[in-house]
Structure 1
Amino acid sequence: MGFKKLGRIGFMLALALSVLSACAVVPGTSSKQGSGKDSGKPFKGTITMYAGDYSPNKIVLQNDKKATVMQTLADEYEKKTGVKIEFIKGLPADQDYMTWVRTKAAGGQLPDIIWSQWYDANSALAKGTLIDLSPYLKAKNPYADNTPWNQLLNSQIMSETKAPNGSTYVINGDYVGTATFYNKEAFKKAGITSFPETWSAFIDACKKLKAAGYTPFAWDLASSPTGMDRITWLARLFYTNFYSDEYDNLMFSGSETMTNKDQVIAIKKGIFGPENKKWMALWPIIKDFSSYWQKDFTGSDSNGQGTMLAFLKGNVGMYFDGSWAAEQIKSAKPSFEWGSFKNPYPDKATSEFATDFDSSASIGGPSAGFQYAVPSQKANNSLTPAKEKAIVDWLMFITTPKHDEAIVNELGRDVPTIAGAKPTAPLSNLSDLINQPLKSIFGGINLEQKEQDAIYRAFQNYILGDISLAQFGKTAKTEMNKTADQMIKDNHWDLSEYLDK
């Protein structure tokens, strides 16, 4: 989430067209990235791709949709260019993907294209594993009326997912968001005529739903992954807003994202924790919010679907979920019309610590299925300059508005990000999220599972009235500092330069 980025790389090599192939040839940088000499001949052969969620041969779980569009486009591309796209089979459930990537890279055996989260590409993989795609970005996309590629790719996302050195390793085509799903019939009966953008407007909507005879909100307070996830969602929504003006200063270690080390420093400096009124302000707000939850909000999790099941019954006005839930709700065929809107953010009517920053995008980001990177010749011994150009050409082919929309919307779980591509109707109100800054602050409550569990148990007791806010704060402080101290010890961190100031 680098907000102190280097300037854009302005260099672009000339576009060359080959009369020997229908494949459009884009400028390459292979001689600088270790893939050998360019023979000048167009590539003829097969490009291998690990396409992740959008792979046509991905192992499909129960109730999941099978992806078919990528194969259709691959067949069309082969007819146009003579280049075949071969999709690598998904890994077994018990095999760690990043371990597989590192192992294959070490032996020069990675596929020509891999799925990679931008933050893994920027920092977790060894230097030189992936090709810097920056020099290609200004090239014209022959499959989109020769529009420069960087005008099709979302500029906000591409800018903020660059590596600290300015390199672009990942091409993005989708965005996973979170949203407030709502019952349109309930909103109409309650007289709610517009989406609540701020938290105070959201609470007002809860009041109207309650007055109209609906349960305003379905919430899960059970000790379950879903229950704990949702509290970290609210923490991000509020803390990202509350600390927005301090965001860059909280990147103590100089990373482009807020790392665990940064969170530890913030805890030890008292920025995160109950001694800071800003940090403590969240919890009474949630307790007030709990008065609008269903009566059995401490009940079982129903395998992570409890709140959705409550919503589907028709007597609940709203609930939080990920963009991936849209297809599940649609498949359930509820008896009422429904939709979604981006999560409301804190405002001054909610807290004195609220800023003007819209933190709706803090829960989600460009980290879904359409994140593709190109391994270097070091990590993929089969790479040649001609093949590199063909790989980029294929990436251009699948990042036209029409093709991106078809790929992403087939599964209906995420929002397409290519300019001109539109999401499915249930996710249409989330389109603006892709243009928001990539800021996200957890507030130090998620460093380690034991810490999170202990804080969550104290939070449950606070919501239920079994302990006071001060008692909750005491537990949170103890757990956060204990975890921070252990991480300092385990990682041999010398934080004196940050803590002695």
Structure 2
Amino acid sequence: MTHLLQRKSLPVLLAAIAIMAAGCGSNGASNGGNASGNAGDAGNNASGGNAATANGGGDAGTAAWTGTIDMYAQAYTPNAKNITGIKSDQHQLRAIADEYEKAHPGIKINFIDEEFKDYNQTVRVKAAAGELFDVFWAQWADLNGTYPKGIAEDLTSYFGQPNPYIPDKATWQDAMNTTVVSETAAPDGKHYNINGDYVATAFFYNKDLFAQAGIAQAPATWAELIDACKKLQAAGIVAMSQAPDFGWFQRHFLTDFYSKDFDTIAGYDKAPGVSSLDEAVAISKGLLDTKDPRFMGWWPIFKQLTDTWKPDYLTGDPAVVGTNARNDFLAGKTAIFYDGSWLPNNAADAGVKFALGSFNFPTLSSADTPMTTGVDASGAVGGPNAAFQFSVATPEADKSMKEPGKKEAVIDWLRYLGTPQRVEQVVNENGTFVPHWPDTKPNDSMKDLASQSTKELKAIMVGNSSANLGKDLQRTFGLYLSGNLSLEKATANVQKALDAAVKEYKTKNDTDLSQY
């Protein structure tokens, strides 16, 4: 799991969920899988209750059009029978649709219950044939660059208008997460979907074991995290047991250490985000490589933590041993486990008896390292790349949208669904992700993770400039943390891997990096 949430390349964080949660698809489903991971029964406690009858009416056009609105809701598909890896007993979205139908006679909402082997290809083929779903799930980055232009309606003007179902807000956008709206905009500033949930990662912990070790509250700083692990050890409790995923943990540190250089690193190709080209150029210039002390400077700091771990999985491939490590935690054998927002569902599926808590990756201080910039990088691994990302098909991609009044009806349905109360209901019932709109609350087990959605999407990592770089870095990382390699030798190995990656990138792409 060495992929980075990037703005210009296909966001692949949720591919990690596929590996770690057995059954969740890329991007959550960029390649046709499901963003829900191992969905359990946790999270059926959305505070909003049943969706209330709409306050106010929708667009005037809805009165003139009647028919069926087809919607592919991805991991939130209600009562799904054909989509593996998601909860088959979800009903909130269906209940909301039923209430909408009751308030709008003649309109029916049909949810597509189908699994796609290659979802991106499905979207392209259906759009080319004019048969795309009226409302469809799509990653914001795909809409901004990967998919053909013109398949999704520009929703920007609607964001700036009142939503009749949110009477206390002047505009629809006022109810949304400002950071996410800004960060997911296309390069021209337009918005092609509404985004309501967030992939979060955090340290999950066994509150019962913490109590046994005399730890009264979750760690809030790096020093407190190290101290808590030592207290757990002293009490005869295994603090942590998992493979140190280089692809994930490097983002927390590098995003902090290099925060002032983000615009430089991401700016070589003059496009948003850190691309493989940006990475290759930064390596070749000695910025993202061992010539810069920040690049390896976090390894000894992180080793402070892993020195308190059970060593079984330190040199293992996270994709291979991840499930075993998670099972150790769910069985109550270890006190802390770093994972994604799908873990509470895993815990519910496993029938855990202990009280589950979570806390964000701590913000580092100058006492921890002089290399910190003080940036809160707790959200560097996650992002708004989950399942509540819905777009409206254009008439070119969906011939039925040419029917007079249908576009207005579909937009009205999206407005009805796109309210804080309903976002919270749908997201929390699934329990895999975190609702991020201001007036929403996540499930109790993930309440501390909600703040991650307010962080800028400026994560930095290394591993995408060649096919083998991530694997090489993971291998050296594990050997160093386990004590089988000195920092000096590890640094030499890392530099060798970086040099090979740059050489491969230049050859494969016939690119002269010196021009940047």
The answer to whether the 8 Å contact 2:247/2:470 transfers is no
The answer to whether the 8 Å contact 2:431/2:443 transfers is yes
- For 1:460 and 1:202, the matched residues in 2 are separated by 21
Find the partner of 1:333 among 351, 365, 368: 351
Match of 1:263 in 2: 279
- For 1:396 and 1:434, the matched residues in 2 are separated by 22
1:307 aligned partner, one-letter code: A
The 5 A counterparts of 1:269-348 are 269-298=285-314, 304-348=322-366
Match of 2:18 in 1: none
The answer to whether the 8 Å contact 2:313/2:321 transfers is no
Q: Deviations over 1:412-453 (max 9, x none)?
A: 1111123322111111111211212122111x2344442222
The answer to whether the 8 Å contact 1:189/1:212 transfers is yes
Q: How many equivalent residue pairs?
A: 456
- For 1:97 and 1:341, the matched residues in 2 are separated by 34
Find the partner of 1:123 among 145, 158, 163: 145
Match status 1:234 vs 2:245: no
Unaligned ranges ≥5, structure 1? 3-21, 27-38, 222-229
Q: Which runs of 4+ in 1 moved over 4 A?
A: 62-65, 298-303
1:296 aligned partner, one-letter code: D
The 5 A counterparts of 1:25-424 are 25=59, 42-56=64-78, 57=80, 59-61=82-84, 64-82=87-105, 83-92=107-116, 95-145=117-167, 147=169, 148-220=171-243, 230-251=245-266, 252-298=268-314, 304-384=322-402, 386-424=405-443
1:259 aligned partner, one-letter code: S
The answer to whether the 8 Å contact 1:50/1:111 transfers is yes
Match status 1:482 vs 2:500: yes
The Cα of 1:245 is off from its aligned counterpart by 1.3
Unaligned ranges ≥5, structure 2? 1-5, 8-55
Match of 2:19 in 1: none
The Cα of 1:365 is off from its aligned counterpart by 0.7
- For 1:345 and 1:58, the matched residues in 2 are separated by 43
The Cα of 1:269 is off from its aligned counterpart by 0.8
Q: Secondary structure at 1:187's aligned position in 2?
A: helix
Match of 2:491 in 1: 473
- For 2:496 and 2:385, the matched residues in 1 are separated by 33
- For 1:390 and 1:489, the matched residues in 2 are separated by 52
2:437 aligned partner, one-letter code: I
Q: Deviations over 1:159-187 (max 9, x none)?
A: 11101101011201111101110111222
Q: Secondary structure at 1:305's aligned position in 2?
A: helix
- For 2:127 and 2:508, the matched residues in 1 are separated by 28
Match of 1:35 in 2: none
The Cα of 1:330 is off from its aligned counterpart by 2.4
Cα 1:287–1:159, aligned 2, differ >3 Å: closer, same or farther?
same
Q: Deviations over 1:303-362 (max 9, x none)?
A: 632222222333422110100011111232323212111122332222211111100000
- For 1:117 and 1:62, the matched residues in 2 are separated by 19
The Cα of 1:40 is off from its aligned counterpart by 9.6
Q: Secondary structure at 2:338's aligned position in 1?
A: strand
Q: Secondary structure at 1:258's aligned position in 2?
A: coil
- For 2:252 and 2:88, the matched residues in 1 are separated by 30
- For 1:163 and 1:175, the matched residues in 2 are separated by 18
Cα 1:107–1:487, aligned 2, differ >3 Å: closer, same or farther?
farther
1:462 aligned partner, one-letter code: Y
Q: Secondary structure at 2:110's aligned position in 1?
A: strand
Cα 1:195–1:153, aligned 2, differ >3 Å: closer, same or farther?
same
The Cα of 1:118 is off from its aligned counterpart by 0.9
2:240 aligned partner, one-letter code: F
- For 2:101 and 2:86, the matched residues in 1 are separated by 31
The answer to whether the 8 Å contact 1:52/1:58 transfers is no
Q: Secondary structure at 1:423's aligned position in 2?
A: coil
Q: Deviations over 1:41-95 (max 9, x none)?
A: 7322111111111112363436845432222221221111132112223234xx2
Q: Considering only CA atoms, is the larger Rg found in Structure 1 or Structure 2?
A: 1
- Once the two structures are overlaid, the 10-residue window that deviates more, 187-196 or 296-305, is 296-305
The answer to whether the 8 Å contact 2:307/2:481 transfers is no
The answer to whether the 8 Å contact 2:97/2:109 transfers is yes
TM-score scaled to structure 1, two decimals? 0.85
Q: Secondary structure at 1:319's aligned position in 2?
A: strand
Q: Secondary structure at 1:140's aligned position in 2?
A: coil
CA-atom RMSD, angstroms? 2.3
Match of 1:30 in 2: none
Match of 1:8 in 2: none
Cα 1:65–1:439, aligned 2, differ >3 Å: closer, same or farther?
farther
Q: Secondary structure at 2:205's aligned position in 1?
A: strand
Cα 1:462–1:98, aligned 2, differ >3 Å: closer, same or farther?
same
Q: Secondary structure at 2:457's aligned position in 1?
A: coil
Match of 1:7 in 2: none
The Cα of 1:379 is off from its aligned counterpart by 1.7
The Cα of 1:23 is off from its aligned counterpart by 5.5
Match status 1:450 vs 2:468: yes
Q: Deviations over 1:260-304 (max 9, x none)?
A: 111111111111111111001122223232211014234797763
Q: Secondary structure at 2:378's aligned position in 1?
A: helix
Q: Deviations over 1:376-432 (max 9, x none)?
A: 222222213622221121111112222111111111111112332211111111121
Q: Secondary structure at 1:382's aligned position in 2?
A: helix
Match of 2:34 in 1: none
The answer to whether the 8 Å contact 2:246/2:477 transfers is no
- For 1:476 and 1:90, the matched residues in 2 are separated by 44
The answer to whether the 8 Å contact 1:23/1:80 transfers is no
Q: Give percent identity, aligned residues only.
A: 35
- For 2:263 and 2:196, the matched residues in 1 are separated by 27
- For 2:237 and 2:464, the matched residues in 1 are separated by 33
- For 2:101 and 2:453, the matched residues in 1 are separated by 31
The answer to whether the 8 Å contact 2:84/2:115 transfers is no
Match of 2:16 in 1: none
Match of 1:36 in 2: none
Match of 1:31 in 2: none
